[in-house]
């Protein structure tokens, strides 16, 4: 996967996190940060 694809995936996870309960959002944000590393 390219860096651009990973960034897009991370951004999508963050969008999903915005509409989730806090504990789920936290998990998704952590996942997004892992993808961006």
Nearest-angstrom CA–CA distance, 9 and 25 = 15
**DSSP for residue 19:** T
Distance CA 16, CA 1 (A): 21
Per-residue confidence (pLDDT) for residue 19, from 0 to 100: 74
Phi, psi of 20 (to 5 degrees): -110, 160
- The per-residue pLDDT for range 1-37, each reduced to its tens digit, is 689 998 999 898 888 877 767 778 788 889 999 988 8
Residue pair 6/35 in contact (Cβ under 8 Å)? The answer is yes
Is this prediction's pTM over 0.95?
A: no
């Amino acid at each position: 996967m390219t860096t651009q694809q990973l960034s897009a995936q991370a951004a999508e996870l963050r969008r999903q996190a915005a509409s989730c309960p806090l504990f789920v959002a936290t998990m998704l944000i952590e996942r997004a940060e892992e993808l961006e590393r």
